[in-house]
Every structure is written in structure tokens, then in C-alpha cells.
Chains A and B, each alone.
Chain A
Amino acid sequence: MVRARGLTVLIAATVVAFACGSTSSGSSSKGDIWIASDLPVSGSDASSGLPAQNGANYAVTSIGTVQGYTLHIKNYDDAVNGKHDATKGAQNITDIISNKDIVGVVGPFNSGVAAAEIPVANRASLALISPSNTNECLTQPLSYCQSVNKYDPASLRPLCANTIPCPPGKNNYFRIAAADTFQGPAMADFAYDTLSIKVVAVWDDQEPFGLGVANNFAKEFQKKGGTVVDRKGFDTSGTAAPDFHSWLASAKKDGATAIYAGATSATFGCIPRAEEKGIFDPNSTFYLGPDGIGDAQCLKDSGDQANDHMYASQGAADATQNPDAAATIAKYKAACTQDTCYGAYTYATYDCAAILIDAIGRAIQANSGNKPTREQVITALAQTSNFKGLTGLISLNNLGDPTSPVLQIQQNKGGTWTFLKQFGISG
């Protein structure tokens, strides 16, 4: 793990060095501006974290400079023993805060990590912009947040003094992914309307993300008129996968024709698909889940039960559906050719870095060409409006959420998660 982390830092450093060489030659740089990334890039989370980090690094190297300052990125890893870790994330933020050169952070990747990082970063007015955090309670003051998640936007933001939305210049946390209030219901609508599923069994991994998305799925599915059976939570914190057999048998008995997994591949999200063998017929039983299972690991874990009856939602738009992004994506594909270059959130993370850099640029202008303070960066970030990202036009509202998040549904076709449909939510 330590070695893996060292390696990624090394790669990042080389990329950065290369970027400096190519962009600052000839022109006189006014100085250096640093941003950081905080993502899980080792262990089992690396399958989604590394591609995201590569996207952020590419944004920094390809944009190169902002208002005459040379851009740099420092990569942090919030995984411990191969899994994302909230404590490690908070430590990384503390480390970033003490490094006065860093003015903003791309990340984190996981909602649970975000909940630990936001209060630390908020006290220092350090900007966080996440490509993939989807837990609604990170930004939205909903009635059940304290009882279900044990936190709400106000408790995460000490600077805002219980006023949500925060007073201008106090909110430091932004994201561009659609919250679970959308991702769960989107799959519920799709399951009920398009797949004509009437009875579904729902489980979650007892983590903030999995629990939230599963609850929101179940709520909407029932509202549509469907039946949710065997709503259970499994302890996935151990090193062995939970035993799903008796739960699956119970779901079968209760007439379920689909399973919804409020989980990620790192929390054994697709193991029930493999354990279904002999209980459910995979060719007539659907397996549904959030973006956390929309990766290659899920399909490997499903073994010979992996088929086209598996669907996952993604809380970000598909950049390859955006004609304006084609040129940048082509350049990225030429620059980054390994497996670890492409993941569900690569282009969204690129967008986060680009939005952060754009905000830094506006903050420099507002500060009459001088290096901006961290407060000036979060103020500029909050004013992001109609930013042309790879994943579409992005505006941020006063809670830190995207104003019109886009979701997509993907289907497993022959071993790859394939774009099926996407739809914007105006909010």
C-alpha cells in the first residue's frame, strides 16, 4: 500500500514536472499555485480512485497556468489497508491546511470520508469539490439527516453557525454529482417503469452512502406502487463477505424479481449476485445498484451470474455523450493509455479540477492579480455558473450542489457497463 501510494505520487510528480517544462518555457510565471487531490488510490478502492486522480492531474497539466501563475497538484491517498478511511481523509486535510500554498482540494471520493473532512476544511475555509459524493445530507438540511446519518449540513460547517444555506463566503464544500435523493429514485423509476419490476428486495452495506441510496430507492419504489421486501442491512466491515444465502432465499420466497444493492464493490456490492446461483435464475432476476457497483470489479465478483440483467445508476453525466467534450477526451486518451486512466468519474474529476482552477482564476482577478486567499477561492467557487465542463454545463447553488444534476443509467452488456440513457434534473 505504501509502495502504491509512493508510486502514484511519483507519477503525479513526473506529470507535473513535464507540465512545468512545457507551459512555463519562455513566459515569465508570476509564481506557483497549488491544488490538492484527496482520493482513495490504493487497495480495492483504487479501481475507481486512480482513474479519478488521473482525470484531475490531466486537467492541471493540460490547463497548465491560471492568470500567469503555474499550476501544480499534490495527490493525497485516503485509503488505509485498501479501503477509503474517514480518519485518514481528515488527516490529509489537516496536512493540506498546514501547507499554505494549497488553495483548494479536488475530492473526496466517498461520502463517509467527506463527512469527516468537511468540518476540518470548513474551519480553514479550504475549498473541497467532489466529483462523486452523493449523500444528500452533506449539503441538504433534511429532517432525517441527524437521525440517519448523525450529521447534517450545519453540524458539518462550524463557520456557518447553524445557518443553512451558509452566509456568503462561508460554505467551502461543493460537488458536481447528483445527490442520493436523485440516484436512488432514478433507479426506482427506471426499475418500475422501464423494467416493469413490481417486487424488489433491498439491502445496504450499513455505510452512509449505501444506506442513504437504498432508503431513497425504497421510498420512491414504494411511492410508485411497487413492493419492497426483505429490507436488510449487512455488516460489511469484516474481511469476509457476509453470508447472503438465507436473505436471498427469503427474498425469493417473498416474490422478489430484482435485488437492489445499496453498496459499492468495495463493500461486497455484487457478491449476492454470485450467491444467487441455485436460488434465483439470473436470466429472469434483475440486479440493480448505484454507481458504487457500476465498475468492472462488480462483474468479476458476479462470476457466471453476470449478465445483461444488471443495471447501475451514475450520479454524473456521460462525457462521451457531450459533443463539446470530444476534442479534450481525444487528447486525454492519447495522453493516458493505461487501464487506470478510465473510470466512471474520470471526466467528472477533470471537471472538478477545471472548475476549481476557473474559480482560482476569478479569485486572482478579484484580488487584483495577486495570489488569492482560501476565502476568496471559496467565494469564487460559489459563483460558478454555466461552466462548460466535459460532463456538461455546470452551475453550483448556495448549498454547494449542482443546480441541474445529470444522472445516467448503465447496463452491463457483454462485460462492460454501457450507457443506456441519461436525464437532467432541474432543481
Chain B
Amino acid sequence: MLERIRSATGGRILGLAPLDLIGLLVLAAAIIFVIPRVADRGAGYLAQVIVFGIALGAIYALVALGYTMVYGIVELINFAHGDVFTLGAFISLPLLGAFGLVEDKSHGIGLLLGLIPVFLITMALCALVNVAIERVAYRPLRNAPRLAPLITAIGMSSILEGAMFLWRGPFNIHYPDLLPANQIPIGGGVTISAKSVIIVGVAIILVLALSLFINRSTLGKAMRATAQDRDAAQLMGININATIATTFFIGAALAGAGGIIYGLYFGTLTAFLGFTVGLYAFTAAVFGGIGNIPGAALGGLLIGMFSQFSDAYVDTAWTQVLIFALLILVLVFRPSGLLGMRVPEK
């Protein structure tokens, strides 16, 4: 069918490949479907939905970065990554208490001074756990058949979930709602909550710090080199094991921070949270182009935004269906994701 269209039109229509054209048509149909509903609900609500979408997307992005970094360097889907994210939220719970942060009682500078060490300690602990996972479950299998580390990854995921289940039990766990609930007016009678602004701000700082690290530091250069060609990097004197461990370290630190942010934003945790969030984040990473760091951040943002638009303007019950329909569409038309490049299989 596609071949026939291609030959009939000389391969391109209006300068676009036929597949891209079909994709654009589907996108246009979706936009035409949503626009009347958006107009109907007004600009104020649209602004709120966009802010909610960015906040949710920022959380997905932080987790997606870890999937994509690890894939980029060792071509492994670290299924335990979503659970390291949950672990971050779980570890931070007692830390919040230890630094005297209590729901409704901590404000201003005291809150800030308390949250900074909580973030740093949680990120460090999550990072160490992920490095340990890499050392125990992935490094010994680096040259084994691909399926072996895939299974150990699923195994580590189950172990982490089980451990957290035994630690905190099966019930929903309430996460203290610490961030200010103040509404910031953005004109036209529309307000956005200070909480979402803070969350987005923290996520942006972390992503900027990561990209500076990857692009400017020597270790970052080593990581890029290892991702490109592990053997050549080793010949150039780069310590491969240390570089891969660093990748796991940074990815997990971001996931840990994502866990705290998730807790602060949503206020509820479960031991198996990482499965669902991990699935969306992994989807975001694939969506943006797995292995591509800006792609993961973009993918996270788009998935978050897309799910909020679906919740707000289509139907909440349809959101999951639409997200994965979108993923399939994107992968059919751009198999390597939005920003991904076709790379030959190593």
C-alpha cells in the first residue's frame, strides 16, 4: 500500500515523505478535534492545564533521563530504574522528619534549608543503590547474551519493590505536603500554584546541571566517548567501569530527586509506584529517542503535557490509551524517536 503511494507520487508529497505526511494528518485531525474543546473551556483553564502538564512532564523527564543515559552507554533497559525513583521518595520520608520538616509547620527559609540536605542525601543514597545494582546484576553480564541482563534488571526491580513493600506495607503512604499552596496570579484572573512552579524550577535546574556536566566536564566527555565506541574509548585510556558506574550514579540521583518531587507534588506513594511511573518515563525516553538526553527531557515533557490535555479535554479514562497510541504512531513513523538518530546495531 505504502509502496504504491510512494511510487504514484514519486516518493514525496509537498516535499514530505509519505509516512511523515500521514503522521502529520493524524496530528492535524487530533488538533482539530481538541481545539473547540480548548476554546470552550477558556484560556485560564488552558494555562492551568499547561502548568499541570509541565509539572507532570518534569517528573517524567527526570526519570526518563536515567533510562536514556544508561541505554546510551550500555544498551540496557534498566528496569529497576523506576523503583530507584520510588526508593528516593521512600528514603526521603524519614529524612524529612529528621530535618524537622512537618506538614503545615515548615515555611520559607526553614523549609529551604531543610529540603536541600534531604535532596542531597536522598540523591546520594539512590545513586549508591543504583551503582551497587550495576556492580552486582549488570557488570558481570556485560558480555553475556542480551536477554540475561534484561532478566536481571526485571529481577532487581522486583527485589526493590518487594523490599519497599516489606518496609512500608501495602497501604497508600501519605507524603507531607510541604510546598506552599499559594496561588500566583498570571494575569486575566488566572492563577497557578507556587508548588508547580517550584517543582518545574527544580527539574529545570537539575536538567541544566546534567547537560553542563555531560558537555563540559572531562567525565562527561568520557561518558560520551564510551557511548560512542566502548572499545575505542578504552584504548584511549578511559576507565570504562568507572564511567559506566558514573552513568548509573547520575541517572539514579536524578530519579531520587524525581521521587521527592513526585511525593511533594502528588502527596501519595505506594511500594509499586515505580512500575507505572517507570513505564511512562521509559515511554518518554523512547518517544524522545532512546539514548538521546535532550530527547528524554523533551519526551517527558510531551508525555506529561499530552496526558494532561487528554485528561482535561478528551476523557480521563482514555488517557492511557491515547498515550500509547501516540507512542505507536511516533515509532511507526520515526522508529528512532523524535530526536533519535538511526544508529547501526553494534
Complex contacts, A275 vs chain B, CB 8 Å: 266-267
| Inter-chain contact B52/A249, CB cutoff 8 Å | yes
Give Cα A361 to B308, complex, Å.
58
Sort A-B residue pairs by CB-CB distance and give the 3 closest, nearest first.
A239-B272, A278-B181, A240-B276
Residue among A43, A47, A243, A274 with the most chain B CB within 10 A? A243
**Closest Cβ neighbor of A238 among chain B residues:** B276
Residue among B45, B56, B268, B273 with the most chain A CB within 10 A? B268
- A235 part of interface (Cβ distance < 8 Å): yes
| Inter-chain contact A271/B172, CB cutoff 8 Å | yes
Q: Nearest chain A CB to B286's CB is how many angstroms away?
A: 19
- A232 part of interface (Cβ distance < 8 Å): yes
Interface size class for chain B? Answer: 35 or more
What are some 9 contacts across the A-B interface (CB < 8 A)? A203-B316, A245-B55, A249-B49, A250-B41, A271-B267, A278-B181, A301-B268, A303-B174, A303-B267
* Chain A positions 234 through 249: 1 when the CB is less than 8 Å from some CB of chain B, otherwise 0: 1100111111011101
| Inter-chain contact B270/A239, CB cutoff 8 Å | yes
- A183 part of interface (Cβ distance < 8 Å): no
Known A-B contacts A243-B52, A243-B311, A247-B316; A278 and B195 likewise in contact (beta carbons under 8 Å): yes
Complex contacts, B174 vs chain A, CB 8 Å: 274, 300-303
A243: contacting residue among B56, B194, B274, B317, CB under 8 A: B56
A304: contacting residue among B48, B104, B277, CB under 8 A: B104
Residue tally, chain A, CB below 8 Å to B: 39
- B20 part of interface (Cβ distance < 8 Å): no
Give Cα A233 to B321, complex, Å.
14
How many A-B residue contacts, CB cutoff 8 Å?
114
Q: Nearest chain B CB to A283's CB is how many angstroms away?
A: 13
- B320 part of interface (Cβ distance < 8 Å): yes
* Chain A positions 265 through 283: 1 when the CB is less than 8 Å from some CB of chain B, otherwise 0: 1001001001101110000
Known A-B contacts A243-B311, A249-B48, A253-B41; A43 and B267 likewise in contact (beta carbons under 8 Å): no
Known A-B contacts A239-B275, A253-B41; A300 and B317 likewise in contact (beta carbons under 8 Å): no
| Inter-chain contact B268/A268, CB cutoff 8 Å | yes
| Inter-chain contact A232/B316, CB cutoff 8 Å | yes
| Inter-chain contact A240/B277, CB cutoff 8 Å | yes
Q: List residues 173-204 of chain B with CB under 8 A from any CB of chain A.
A: 174, 176-177, 181-183, 193-195
- A397 part of interface (Cβ distance < 8 Å): no
| Inter-chain contact A240/B270, CB cutoff 8 Å | yes
| Inter-chain contact A206/B45, CB cutoff 8 Å | no
Known A-B contacts A240-B270, A241-B268, A278-B193; A46 and B44 likewise in contact (beta carbons under 8 Å): no
Give Cα A203 to B48, complex, Å.
20
Complex contacts, B49 vs chain A, CB 8 Å: 246, 249
Q: Nearest chain B CB to A201's CB is how many angstroms away?
A: 12
| Inter-chain contact B319/A303, CB cutoff 8 Å | no
| Inter-chain contact A47/B171, CB cutoff 8 Å | yes
B172: contacting residue among A233, A250, A268, A277, CB under 8 A: A268
Known A-B contacts A247-B311, A253-B41; A44 and B170 likewise in contact (beta carbons under 8 Å): yes
* Chain A positions 44 through 57: 1 when the CB is less than 8 Å from some CB of chain B, otherwise 0: 10110000000000
| Inter-chain contact B268/A246, CB cutoff 8 Å | no
**Closest Cβ neighbor of B192 among chain A residues:** A278
Complex contacts, A279 vs chain B, CB 8 Å: 193
Q: List residues 51-91 of chain B with CB under 8 A from any CB of chain A.
A: 52-53, 55-56
**Closest Cβ neighbor of A237 among chain B residues:** B320
Give Cα A241 to B195, complex, Å.
19
- B103 part of interface (Cβ distance < 8 Å): yes
Using a CB–CB distance below 8 Å, which chain B residues touch chain A?
41-42, 44-45, 48-49, 52-53, 55-56, 103-104, 170-172, 174, 176-177, 181-183, 193-195, 266-268, 270, 272-277, 307-308, 311-312, 315-317, 319-320
Q: Nearest chain A CB to B22's CB is how many angstroms away?
A: 29
Q: List residues 112-140 of chain A with CB under 8 A from any CB of chain B.
A: none
Known A-B contacts A235-B319, A274-B177; A246 and B308 likewise in contact (beta carbons under 8 Å): yes
Complex contacts, B312 vs chain A, CB 8 Å: 246-247, 250
Complex contacts, A268 vs chain B, CB 8 Å: 172, 268
Known A-B contacts A249-B45, A268-B268; A241 and B172 likewise in contact (beta carbons under 8 Å): yes
Q: Nearest chain A CB to B312's CB is how many angstroms away?
A: 4
- A68 part of interface (Cβ distance < 8 Å): no
Complex contacts, B104 vs chain A, CB 8 Å: 304
A240-B270, A245-B308, A271-B172 given; name 6 further pairs at CB < 8 Å.
A239-B270, A239-B275, A241-B268, A274-B268, A278-B183, A304-B177
**Closest Cβ neighbor of B313 among chain A residues:** A246
Give Cα A277 to B183, complex, Å.
10
Complex contacts, A240 vs chain B, CB 8 Å: 270, 273, 275-277
Q: Nearest chain A CB to B190's CB is how many angstroms away?
A: 10
Give Cα A239 to B177, complex, Å.
20
**Closest Cβ neighbor of B182 among chain A residues:** A278
Complex contacts, A297 vs chain B, CB 8 Å: 171-172
Give Cα A424 to B312, complex, Å.
40
Q: Nearest chain A CB to B321's CB is how many angstroms away?
A: 9
Give Cα A301 to B266, complex, Å.
11
Give Cα A247 to B315, complex, Å.
10
Q: Nearest chain A CB to B113's CB is how many angstroms away?
A: 21
**Closest Cβ neighbor of B171 among chain A residues:** A44
Q: Nearest chain B CB to A276's CB is how many angstroms away?
A: 10
Give Cα A199 to B307, complex, Å.
26
| Inter-chain contact B172/A243, CB cutoff 8 Å | no
Give Cα A238 to B193, complex, Å.
27
Complex contacts, B276 vs chain A, CB 8 Å: 238-240
